[in-house]
Amino acid sequence: MPIVDLHAHVTPERYKTGIRDVGSWYGLDATVGELHHGAFAQGLAERLEDMDRFGVEMQLLTPTMGFYQYENDLEVTKKIHRECNDEIYQIISQHPTRFLGMGTVPMQDPASAITEMGRLVGEFGFKGVMINDHVAGTTYDDPQFLPFFQAAEEMGALLFFHQGGPSCVAARIDKYKLPNAVGNLTERALVFATLVFGGVLDKFPGLSLLLAHAGGYAPYSAARMDKVAGALPGDFDGKMNPPFGPNDGFVQKMPPSEYLRRFYYDCCTYDGPVLRFLIDTVGIDRVVFGTDYPAPMFQHDPVEWLRGLSELTATEKEAILIDNSNRLLGI
C-alpha cells in the first residue's frame, strides 16, 4: 500500500497564468495563491520530484486555502471553485497512481456546496472536500449547515477542516506570526467544540471528519470542555464546583472528550512528544500522514522525520504512514 500525504495543497495553473498575463484571476491577486512563497508557484514536475525525494507515493490534493472565497460574490466563488476542482481532476487523471482529489465548495450557500460536492464525489471520484474552519465568521453549529452535513454523510465524503484567511487571533495581535502559530490551532479547537456542543455529530454519526494540524488545541483542551459542559445547574451540590449558570445551549449527548475519536488528525505536530500525546489521547488508528506541502509550515523530509521519532513504535509509524491513511481513503 502507498504512503499517502493527506495534507497537500496545489495552486491552479490557470490562476498562475492569469496573474502572469493580466495581474489577476477572477479579481484575485497574487497574494491569494501565496505566490510570494516560491513553492506555491512551482509546477507539477517539481511537485513530483519532491514527492520522489521525500518518499511520498501519493498526495491527496486540495486547492490552496486562499481560494475558499466565502465572502466573495457567490457566482464568482462558484466559478473559481469549479475551475480549481476541474484542474485537480485533470491532474489526477494524468497521474492516477500519484494523486487523489479533494475539492473546495462554496460554503456561503450550502445548497451550492452540496451540488458541487456531489459533482466532485459522484463524477470525479474525489474523496471529499476541504472547508474553512468557519464561513465568514459563522460556525458550523448554525442550522443552515445541517443539510450540508447530511449530504456529506450520505455521500461518504471526507470533510477536511483547514484554516484559510486571518485567524481569530489576528484581531488581537498580528505580530510574530501568532495568527498562524497560535490562531491556526485555536480555530481547529473551535471547529471541534462547535460541532460537538452543537450536536452536529450526534445528528450525523456517520460523518468522516479530518482536522488539519493535528486537531489544533482540541485534543489538549477536551478535558476543560468536559469540565465546562459538566458544570451545569443540578450537576453539583454544595459550595465546591458551583455551576456556571443556565445551560448555554449544550446539546451533546456525551462528554466532549468522548467525541475525540469521531475525528481523524494529521501528524503535523513538528514534535515527537506532542505526537505521542495525540496518539495516546485519540488512539493510533485516528492519526494519518499529512505534511502541509508545499506551505512554509511543511514538515521537511516528513517520512524520514516520522520514522526517526523515538517516541513512536515501528508499528505506530507504519500505521500513520500507510495503514490509517489507506483505510480512511478506501485504497
The region, left, alpha or beta by phi > 0 then psi within -120 to 50, assigned to residue 213 is left
- Indicate the pTM of the whole model: 0.94
Cβ–Cβ < 8 Å for 191, 142: no
pLDDT tens for each residue of the chain, 331 residues long: 899 999 999 999 999 888 888 888 998 888 877 777 777 778 899 999 999 999 999 999 999 989 999 999 999 999 999 999 999 999 999 999 999 999 999 999 999 999 999 999 999 999 999 999 999 999 999 999 999 999 999 999 999 999 998 888 888 988 898 888 888 999 999 999 999 999 999 999 999 999 999 999 999 999 888 888 875 544 555 555 555 555 677 788 888 999 999 999 999 999 999 999 999 999 999 999 999 999 888 999 999 999 999 999 999 999 999 999 999 999 8
pLDDT for 249 equals 75
List the CATH code of the domain at 4-226+263-329: 3.20.20.140
Radius of gyration of the chain (CA): 20
Q: Rounded CA gap, 85 and 82, in Å?
A: 5
pLDDT for 39 equals 73
pLDDT for 233 equals 47
pLDDT for 239 equals 52
